[in-house]
């Protein structure tokens, strides 16, 4: 089923909602655990939900959405709400990005220079620091796409990239509480499972 059809169905389910979502960016993972946008990385496990029938916010609506996800056998589902209205639905396909996805990034000559520098550097700490410093200069979305590029081309080990991601995220949280208004678990899944983030709006109150 297309994302548009899924969105239409979930919109219908949301009509019973009587209140806004306190955490409007919700990622339901392959285990049906729910992850919310929050500095504290709030999540509710599927086991807890099954035992108690409880969610964090808007209980009945989320209960119906999870049931619908199971019915369609959807692996991952990402939702964004504007008030009580559903604004974004993404059912991602892992490893779906290609070289074309990075065309805009690669058109930036300075970026190519930085990537080449990283490739030549043999010291892991220097590689990480060089990359982190450059990420801080970029628009937030371009920075995350650069991380995807590094993974796509195996320019660093996954453990190195994960460390860079965490350090960059700490930087964003220090200057703008980035994790409070964006779903970090879904973002991390997009980076490391290699699917597009083009449809996600990353809200960052303070320009880097």
Give, in order, the Cα–Cα distances in Å from 164 to each of 10, 40, 64: 36, 20, 37
Q: Which two tokens stand for residue 186?
A: 């879904």
C-alpha separations of 13 from 44, 50, 65, 67, 132 in Å: 21, 20, 7, 11, 42
**pLDDT by residue for the chain (208 residues), tens digit each?**
778 888 888 888 887 777 777 788 999 999 998 898 886 777 777 777 667 666 556 667 888 888 899 999 999 999 998 887 888 899 999 999 999 999 999 898 888 888 888 888 899 999 999 999 999 999 999 999 999 999 999 999 999 999 999 999 999 999 988 999 999 999 999 999 999 999 888 876 554 4
Looking at residue 149, the DSSP 8-state letter turns out to be H
Its pTM stands at 0.89
Which strands sit side by side in the sheet containing 77-82, from one edge to the other? 43-44, 34-36, 25-28, 77-82, 85-90
């Amino acid at each position: 089923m297309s994302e548009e059809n899924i969105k239409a169905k979930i919109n219908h389910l949301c009509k019973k909602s009587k209140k806004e979502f306190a955490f409007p960016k919700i990622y339901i993972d392959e285990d049906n655990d729910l992850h919310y946008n929050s500095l504290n990385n709030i999540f509710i496990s599927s086991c807890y939900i099954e035992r108690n029938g409880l969610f964090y916010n808007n209980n009945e609506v989320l209960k119906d959405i999870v049931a619908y996800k199971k019915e369609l056998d959807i692996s991952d589902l990402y939702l964004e709400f504007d008030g009580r209205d559903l604004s974004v639905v993404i059912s991602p396909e892992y490893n779906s990005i290609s070289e074309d996805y990075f065309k805009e990034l690669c058109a930036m000559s300075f970026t190519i220079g930085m990537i080449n520098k990283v490739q030549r550097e043999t010291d892991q700490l220097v590689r990480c620091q060089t990359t982190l410093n450059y990420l801080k200069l970029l628009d937030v979305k371009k920075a995350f796409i650069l991380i995807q590029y590094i993974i796509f081309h195996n320019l660093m080990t996954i453990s190195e990239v994960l460390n860079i991601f965490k350090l960059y995220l700490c930087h964003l949280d220090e200057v703008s509480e980035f994790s409070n208004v964006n779903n970090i678990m879904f973002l991390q899944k997009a980076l490391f499972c290699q699917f597009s983030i083009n449809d996600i709006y990353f809200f960052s109150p303070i320009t880097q």
